[in-house]
Chains A and B, each alone.
Chain A
């Protein structure tokens, strides 16, 4: 009973979550709880184990030990239910360039099992919101990168997932578009969607409600940006990050 309560309260929980590849321990006993509607920044240098941790939470990879729940479902035993309740946008651009805007929307909505009526309503709303009405029959490949990223994010939200994983969503985007992108993230958060974001931009880390910093497979720090800056007596998140990342012994891949 207590467990069920925990699950409904938190969107994501991890307890001693560990993944080992042979001798190498990629993720070493990490624990955290993420509340519904929270924007959780997941930071770490390349090779710190971020991607592996995220893959476990998305149900793509089974933990070696420890446990984690996403949207109330266990990652080891119920990855299929997790997949229905999450959205995902990767660091690589994840729309089809040779399909039009509308075809991309229809395809992704279709594989999440949305009905035709829903698809029609949602896509109309989405196009209007992004001011892409006139571009809906253009190939995605012809759009500027910033628009693609925003479209990609909106499509990741089309099936109204409880949690969205964003893997370096703003890579290669200009500062203005990044700003607009974060406004969209805030909107989603206000609607109650939980956002799990990895990023290399430390100014973006400041936008997160809470931030964790991974070093060598473990979580070295966890808290609100203000708490972390105070704890490490740093001026910015950038300084906090550098302070922690320098302690790493593992080589980046």
Chain B
């Protein structure tokens, strides 16, 4: 039994090893994804180009403009003569935001203690627009409290905000768990289902079924190398995120790896289930991509917060294994919590694995009996 299993795993390893293109994707993908998310794509907005209309042209307005120009969020691209030019600047796509300081801003502030400025933002990208305007408000707020320094205000509330767990508001805290979920899903579900269905397509599965190998052993032996591959990928993602992106692992590394392997097994059993319901590699790939990869991306909370989803989607998101895993990784890796807090999520993943495995074994037997 053990020799048969080993002979099988060895053969499976040859398949993977000989297919250099796939191998390259398997190992290259997580690295490329981490690097792309880490350096190229980022939710933080730095050095946004803006335009300024300064009609006040006095000392106060100049100080405000200097303050904005020196912040790392904004680069002043151009100065416009009046507000009417703002539309053109937006349409040329050069700037994301236009600040208009009206004619009597400085004097009005001095005499009436009240000054108004106008902030126009390009809301064709609503997230960027609201982020930029809030940055601008913060800078103006800072400027205002500097003006008030030493003066006693009748009422003043100063909220002191601290960003816990991710004080620098790094995007990496969000996407590393997401990339882990995506990569494991891809390797375990997609690759396993294709590898099993391929044997059906080429006719070797028939020979295996006629052999004394137990069907269940065939399926387990086929998925073992992929479990190993996913372990390597977990390791490489974690190494990259710690040493290249500077993301610390707050919680227990062992717990993180153990639960990642649990998620891998859940994905493997899902891959097996897919392989029992289809006979062609193309269908297996379509089901894996459309049915699993997209929900992982959309409904795991990685791209879009689940709290903001309409109720039906919220309910559906519960059957997406990646949702639970994503929560686990975020909790363990970033908040540093232990099994005491996330045992419920771990239990859900375990139950899912058992259900997928049970269904695929049952399907396998039914198919054998029918043919």
Question: Could you tell me the distance in whole angstroms from the C-beta of B365 to the nearest C-beta in chain A?
Answer: 11
Q: A61-B371, A92-B203, A98-B18 are in contact. Are A110 and B4 (CB under 8 A)?
A: yes
Residues of B within 8 A of A62 (CB): 369
| Of the residues B7, B202, B370, contact of A107 by C-beta under 8 Å | B7
Q: Is the CB–CB distance between B7 and A111 below 8 Å?
A: yes
| A98–B369 touching, CB < 8 Å | no
The answer to whether A61 and B206 touch (CB under 8 A), given A98-B14, A107-B7, is: no
In the docked arrangement, what's the CA distance between A21 and B206, Å? 20
> Does B63 lie at the interface of the complex (its beta carbon under 8 Å from any beta carbon of A)?
no
Given A93-B202, A96-B204, A110-B7, A60 and B14 touching (CB < 8 A)? no
| Complexed CA–CA distance, A91 and B202 (Å) | 11
Is A58 touching B210 in the complex (CB atoms < 8 A)? yes
In the complex, the answer to whether A55 meets B14 with C-beta atoms within 8 Å is no
**CB–CB A94/B204 < 8 A:** yes
Fill in one digit per residue for B1-38: 1 if any A CB lies within 8 Å of its CB, else 0. Answer: 00110111011001100110000000000000000000
Known: A96-B11, A107-B7. A165 touches B208 (CB 8 A): no
Is A162's CB within 8 Å of the partner chain B?
Answer: no
Contact between chains at A86 and B210 (CB < 8 Å):
yes
Minimal Cβ-Cβ distance residue in A for B201 = A92
Residues of A within 8 A of B368 (CB): 60-61
Flag B197-216 by CB within 8 Å of A: 1 or 0 each.
Answer: 00000111011111111000
Question: Which A residues touch B6, using CB under 8 A?
Answer: 110
Nearest-CB distance from A68 to chain B (Å)?
A: 15
Q: What residue in chain B is nearest A84 (Cβ atoms)?
A: B212
Given contacts A90-B203, A92-B203, contact A83 B211 (CB under 8 A): yes
Give the nearest-CB partner of A107 in chain B: B11
Task: Give the interface size bracket for A toward B.
Answer: 20 to 34
Contact partners of B213 in chain A: CB under 8 A = 111
Contact B3 A113 (CB under 8 A): yes
Distance in angstroms from A122 CB to nearest chain B CB is 15
A201 within 8 Å of B (CB atoms): no
State which residues 206-228 of B face A: CB under 8 Å. Answer: 206-213
Is the CB–CB distance between B211 and A60 below 8 Å?
Answer: no
* Partner of B206 from A88, A98, A107, A108 at Cβ < 8 Å: A88
Q: State whether A96 touches B15 (Cβ < 8 A).
A: yes
- Least distance between B204 CB and chain A CB atoms (Å): 5
- Is the beta-carbon distance between A112 and B202 smaller than 8 angstroms? no
- Report which residue of B19, B206, B210 has the largest number of chain A beta carbons within 10 angstroms of its beta carbon: B210
Which B residues lie within 8 Å of A25 (CB)? none
Contact A103 B207 (CB under 8 A): no
Residues of B close to A106: CB separation below 8 A: 7
Whether the pair A90, B206 counts as a contact (CB closer than 8 A) is yes
Q: How far is the CB of A23 from chain B (nearest CB, A)?
A: 14
Q: A111 to B4, Cβ gap below 8 A?
A: yes
- Report the tally of A-B residue pairs with Cβ distances under 8 A: 80
B23 to chain A, nearest CB (A): 12
Check B15–A60 contact: CB distance below 8 A.
no
The answer to whether B212 touches A80, judged by C-beta atoms less than 8 angstroms apart, is yes
Interface string of B56-72 (1 = CB under 8 A from A): 00000000000000000
Is A99's beta carbon under 8 Å from chain B? yes
Give the docked Cα–Cα distance between A80 and B370 (Å): 18
Q: Which residues of A contact B18 (CB under 8 A)?
A: 98-99, 139
Contact of B211 among A99, A103, A111 (CB under 8 A): A111
**Contacts A98-B14, A111-B211 given: A60-B19 contact, CB under 8 Å?**
no
Query: Looking at B4, B7, B10, B202, which has the most chain A CB atoms within 10 Å of its CB?
Result: B7
**Contact call B204/A83, Cβ cutoff below 8 A:** no
- Report whether A111 and B8 are in contact in the complex, using a CB–CB cutoff of 8 Å: yes
Interface string of A74-107 (1 = CB under 8 A from B): 0000001001101011111111111100010011
Is there an interface contact between B204 and A60, defined as CB atoms closer than 8 Å? no
**Once the chains are docked, how many angstroms separate the CA of A61 from the CA of B208?**
15
Cα distance, A165 to B210, chains bound together (Å): 10
**CB closest chain-B residue, reference A94:** B207
**CB contact list, A135-173 vs B, under 8 A:** 139, 165
Q: Look across to chain B and name the residue whose beta carbon is closest to the beta carbon of A80.
A: B212
Smallest CB gap from A55: residue in B: B371
Q: Which residues of B contact A96 (CB under 8 A)?
A: 11, 14-15, 202, 204
Contact, CB under 8 Å: A92 / B212: no
Q: Are B206 and A94 in contact (CB under 8 A)?
A: yes
Question: Which of A59, A88, A92, A110 touches B202 (beta carbons < 8 Å)?
Answer: A92
- Nearest residue in A to B214 (C-beta to C-beta)? A80
The residues in B between 75 and 114 inclusive whose CB is less than 8 angstroms from any CB of A are none
Contacts of B206 in A (CB 8 A): 88, 90, 92, 94
CA distance A108 to B212 in the complex (A): 11
A84 to B7: give the CA distance in the assembly, Å.
17
When C-beta atoms are compared, the residue in chain B nearest to A109 turns out to be B7
Contacts of A111 in B (CB 8 A): 4, 7-8, 208, 211-213
28 contacts between A and B (CB under 8 A): A58-B210, A60-B209, A60-B210, A60-B368, A60-B371, A61-B368, A61-B371, A62-B369, A83-B212, A88-B206, A88-B207, A89-B207, A90-B203, A90-B206, A96-B11, A96-B14, A97-B202, A98-B14, A98-B19, A99-B11, A108-B211, A110-B4, A110-B6, A111-B4, A111-B7, A112-B211, A113-B4, A139-B18
The 10 A-B residue pairs with the shortest CB-CB distance, nearest first, are: A92-B203, A110-B7, A88-B210, A94-B207, A107-B11, A83-B212, A98-B18, A84-B212, A90-B206, A58-B210
